[in-house]
Structure 1
Amino acid sequence: MSAFTAAEPAAAASHNISLYRAIWRWHFFAGLLVIPFMLNLAITGSLYLFKDQIADTFYAHRNIVADAGSMLTPQQIVDAAVAAIPGSKPASYREAPSRNRSAVVAVSKNGQSTIVYVNPHSGGVLGSVGSKQEFSWVVKRIHSLQYFGDWTNRIVEIVGGFALMLVVTGIYLWWPRQQTGGVLSVRGTPSRRVFWRDLHAVTGAVAGIVIFFLAFSGMPWSGYWGANVNAWLTAHDLGTPAALWDNVPKSTKVTQDIVGRPGWVVENAPVPLSDIAAAQAAKPIDLNKAVEIMHGLGMAPGSDLAIPANETGVYTASHYGGDLGNERTVHIDQYSGKPLVDLSFDQYPALGQAIEWGINVHQGQEWGLFNQLLMLVTCLAIVLSCVTAIVMWWKRRPAGRLGVPPMPPQKSVYIGLWLIVIAFSAIFPLTGLAVIVMLLFDQIVVRFVPPLRRFFS
């Protein structure tokens, strides 16, 4: 009996060691794979948080104007922009949000889009830039790696899932186990590995919840998971309210095809058609009238207005960014001026509102400067976590080997981890697939190929 009871604590201790080593090994592999991508996300994310301040500092010549009294009509402003790019056609008009800001007109020519900045008082063109060369556009797409193609964007989706795993496994590894140092304090000096271990652990523990939030709230933008979640929400009437389109003819375009900055919930919502029958008996309303209607509907200052590209197109007024209460999309018939679809944030279902709120906080747009600084500190915590991980690994790695944490004594512990992977894969398929590949590599290739086993030890 005494031998049996003595064996129980030993077995429990062996199991705990195995679980710790398995999770440590998993944490190491995941971190090794994502560090370059996490650094990119943190650095470009920090820049994007302050895109408006950066634009007003480095591009003040095209964004800020002197208040010179009367304002030109929207059509006069658009005409000035079109004249600056001969042969172009207007695609959208963004009114000046205040009297000391420029108006922004997007024009297209030969399939290329150009943004033209116009002084709304004088009609003077302040500058222009290709839509795909504009600062915030470039930073956002480098952030998501979509700048380099769809397949690289899938990598960021996998990285986002790994980031969620790293936070959870990191908290497990950090969790106090009868030790006092390295929990909320940092031991040693920079010359010692324990200093970097503690700094890594404490940083992750303090910022872990916000890092988890950043990773999760960024997933709706991902090309595979985000697109499928958006489609699922729409199909189950949990995103865009489908009933709004019941009585209007729909085109094959979706909102993100014609609006430069749509809300996530509405980006795949269909764009309605203007009443083509009316084209036989009525002329289209002009841009000035469309802007007047937009104002009459109570659209927030600085809203965008997409201009119809053909005789069945619609004017689409939209406002996105900043106060969620102002988020709104209105499609207006170009002949009658009648609002065909009018969708605002308070009409989204609860789940759609929650996702939009998460995205707004993610981008630093919900609570002004405080939100920006909170996200900036989180991005800096990610950078610090990456740097400390690299230094910590460098100090512990054996010469000529990668220095992967040892495999657990009890291989049976992987059964539980496989079950976790299967559950995780059901939620985030691309990340789950990457984890499965990683585990198969570790358990089959590394384990049974002696040169690799030595290198990864």
Structure 2
Amino acid sequence: MLAPNPNAEVIAHRRTLWRWHFYAGLFVMPLLVVLAITGTIYCFQPQIEPLLYRDRMVVADTHGPQLSRDALLAKAAASEPRGAVPTLAQIEADRTRSAEFVFRLPSGESESVYVNPYDGAVLGTLSVEHRLMKQVRNLHRGLMLGKTGELVMELAGCWTLVMIGTGIALWWPSRSNARQGGVWLPRLSLQGRAWWRDLHAVGGIWLAIGALFFVMSGLPWSGSWGKEFKALATSASLGYPKGAWGEAHVHSAAPGAASKNADEHAMHGMHMKMDDLPLHQTPWAVGATTVPDSADASSPAARASLDDVVAIAAKNGIADDYGIALPDKPTGVYTVSYFPADPRAERTLHIDRYSGRVLSDIDYASYGRIAQWISYGTSLHMGRYFGLANQIVCAAISLGLATLAVTGFVMWWKRRPARELGAPARPVKRPPMRAWRGGLTLLGIFFPLMGATMLAVWCIDRLAFGAKRAAA
């Protein structure tokens, strides 16, 4: 009886990993290029938009007094067509920035109106839906294909985890190739496909941690799994605050009759959530919290002005670069959303439109532990946490991942037989690989959408390529 050949088992093990790496890369590769390019562009939004729309966003500082926010809103409203409804005021402390107000047009679309804060001159408008950074963001999150695109990008993130895991395993050096080089630095003396392989493997190992971080910090924002994960984290008291009066350490005023009615509407799924508001950015931790209602006005003339809300926000430590969602109904509220670079300073205020009373105050300390981690991950993912250096690091990782996609494509193209897919051949004897199979199973359970596609890939591979000659 012949003893089993240990080398044959190693080869079978490696070839199986290579097949999974190949299939993951085949799907992820083009999407990774899209994610890398759009992510890099969006990361530099603070620098790009003022240059791109300088005539509307930037003004000369006259060192004189600025008009009140209410006066500026009135100037913006006068320039809009009949039926346009103001929905958002963007507050900037920088004296060289124009005042921005968003209006919902009768057509259903929204546009930003920019006003000179010194003389009230309307500088121009921008479509909210069609401005460049909105399009870049839609490409990044869902290929501009709506829900279908969001699911595809979510799958791309999940399959990137498989690509990272199998890539590290394929790179893992044995004693022999550790001495030969090509582990931490590519062997530039090589030629042909071997040169591309070294560049791909070494570059991949240096970028693995960054790629893993990008995936794990981006998935909580995904359209399918992200929403379910948010709900699960909340049920375990680890996610966003519940938003009900006095719960989850949310500082709230005692509810009046209108607030009680709001709670009843929320129970029937009729109440607005933070994610429904026309804000440019909303912290992940508060996205699904309920927006309260203002109490019934005792006097129609008594109402808080926009300037009052700005003063209340400043009193609560919010002074710059935040949005105020404007009330759109008699019982609506002003919602102040502060989404700074430092997640510890995140703040959400709901303010009664009549009395100016702070109905709800949600800060970072109110978040569950999971939500706090995700807030940090989001800030780092977007290149915001430590300024320009963070942006440069994110851009380097993103463009590095795009380079990996290109090198992977070149390697495949060089080894691919004519008119064939060129997938690595299945080994004659399937190695046990219990740890890998168990890990992939757990990954498929944790990410159900990915689990379904893994099963589909396995079935297609067995049916379409199972009859072909396997490699020894």
Deviation at 1:119, TM superposition (A): 1.2
Q: Which residue identity is paired with 1:327?
A: E
- SS of the residue corresponding to residue 342 of structure 1 reads strand
> Which residue matches 1:303?
322
Distance in 2 of aligned mates of 1:120 and 1:325: 30
The whole-number CA distance in structure 2 between the counterparts of 1:152 and 1:305 is 30
2:288 aligns with: 268
2:114 corresponds in structure 1 to: 117
* Unaligned 5+ runs, structure 2: 247-253
Cα pair distance change 1:399/1:181, threshold 3 Å: farther
Deviations, residues 241-260 of structure 1 (Å, cap 9, x unaligned): 22653454345100121133
> Which secondary structure does the structure 1 equivalent of 2:51 belong to?
helix
Q: After the TM superposition, which residues 185-196 of structure 1 pair with which residues of structure 2 at under 5 Å, given as runs?
A: 185-187=185-187, 191-196=191-196
Q: Does 1:70 align with 2:65?
A: yes
Report whether the alignment pairs 1:208 with 2:208. Answer: yes
* Partners of 1:41 and 1:445 in 2: CA distance: 30
Q: For residue 355 of structure 1, report the CA deviation from its aligned partner.
A: 0.5
Q: CA distance change for structure 1 residues 169 and 136 in 2, over 3 Å: closer, same or farther?
A: same
CA contact (8 A) 1:174 1:183 kept: yes
Question: Do residues 141 (structure 1) and 135 (structure 2) align?
Answer: no
How far, CA to CA, are the matches of 1:290 and 1:187 in structure 2? 62
Question: Does the CA-based 8 Å contact 1:14-1:409 persist in structure 2?
Answer: no
**Secondary structure of 2:240 counterpart:** coil
Q: Map 1:19-418 to 2 at 5 A.
A: 19-68=13-62, 69-87=64-82, 88-110=84-106, 111-145=108-142, 147-177=144-174, 178-179=176-177, 180-187=180-187, 191-242=191-242, 244-246=244-246, 248=255, 249=259, 250=262, 251=266, 252-258=271-277, 259-276=279-296, 278-279=297-298, 283-413=302-432, 417-418=436-437
Shift of 1:358: 0.4
Is 2:243–2:289's contact at 8 Å kept on the other side of the alignment? Answer: no
Which whole-Å CA distance do the structure 1 matches of 2:88 and 2:191 have between them?
58
What residue identity is the alignment partner of 1:39? Answer: V
| Structure (1 or 2) with the greater helix fraction | 1
- Cα-to-partner distance string for 1:98-139 (whole Å, 9 max, x where unaligned): 111111100112122111111111111222111101222111
The answer to whether the 8 A contact 1:153-1:222 is kept is yes
Would the aligned equivalents of 1:211 and 1:378 in 2 still touch at CA under 8 Å? yes
Q: Specify the SS of the correspondent of 1:166.
A: helix
Aligned to 2:360, the other structure's residue is in SS state strand
> CA offset at residue 304 of structure 1?
1.1
Q: What is the alpha-carbon distance in structure 2 between the residues aligned to residue 190 and residue 267 of structure 1?
A: 52
- Long gaps (5+) in structure 1: none
Cα distance in 2 between the residues matched to 1:301 and 1:354: 24
Aligned-pair distance for 1:279?
4.5
1:14 Cα deviation after fit? 2.6
Q: Which amino acid aligns with 1:145?
A: G
CA deviation after TM superposition for structure 1 residue 181, in Å: 2.6
Percent same amino acid at aligned positions?
Answer: 35
Distance 2:50 2:76 in 1: 21
Q: CA deviation at 1:89?
A: 1.9
Say if 1:70 and 1:32 are closer, same or farther in 2 by CA, change over 3 A: same
Letter of the structure 1 residue corresponding to residue 27 of structure 2: L
Counterpart secondary structure, 2:284: coil
Following superposition, the deviation at residue 380 of structure 1 comes to: 1.2
* Number of residue pairs matched by the alignment: 446
Moved more, 243-252 or 262-271: 243-252
1:174–1:201 CA contact under 8 A, matched in 2: yes
Specify whether residues 243 and 99 from structure 1 end up closer, same or farther in structure 2 by C-alpha distance, changes over 3 A only: closer
TM-score of the superposed pair, with normalisation by structure 1: 0.92
- Is the contact between residue 101 and residue 112 of structure 2 (CA under 8 Å) also seen in structure 1? yes
- The answer to whether the 8 Å contact 1:74/1:95 transfers is no
Q: Given residue 53 of structure 2, which amino acid in structure 1 is its aligned partner?
A: Y
Q: Take 1:82 and 1:409, find their aligned partners in 2: how far apart are those partners?
A: 73
**Gap change, CA 1:321 and 1:264, over 3 Å in 2:** same
